[in-house]
Amino acid sequence: MVRDKLTLFLCGWLGGPRRYAEKYGPMGLHMSHQKFIINEAERDAWLLCMERALQKQPYSEEFIEYLLRQLFVAAERIRMTSRSE
């Protein structure tokens, strides 16, 4: 279920069909993470995981850099709206 939700979310977030909303309702990215403590360290650790995963894919460096910039924006917004220590 988690894999399905993430796949559908990313498809819509990247401009594809809005299947997540059709199946699960509105994408509440910020609301989903508010209960967690997410500071710069957690944000950066997640982004590093994303970077390592993307490097294993047959994507162009240009696409990887673009996607990482977009993921940073989302991660920073989540950090700003989550509980802080």
Question: Quick one: 24 and 6 in the same domain?
Answer: yes
Question: Quick one: 82 and 66 in the same domain?
Answer: yes
Counting the structural domains of the chain, the total is 2
Question: Quick one: 50 and 83 in the same domain?
Answer: yes
Question: Quick one: 10 and 47 in the same domain?
Answer: no
Round to whole Å and give the CA distance between 37 and 58.
33
Domain that holds residue 79: 34-85
Report the mean per-residue pLDDT for the chain: 89
Question: Quick one: 46 and 67 in the same domain?
Answer: yes
Question: Quick one: 81 and 44 in the same domain?
Answer: yes
- For 32-69, how does the pLDDT look when each residue is reduced to its tens digit (9 = 90+)? 777 889 999 999 999 999 999 999 999 999 999 999 99
44 to each of 10, 19, 52, how far by Cα in Å?
Answer: 19, 28, 12
Cβ atoms 20, 5 nearer than 8 A: yes
Question: Quick one: 40 and 80 in the same domain?
Answer: yes
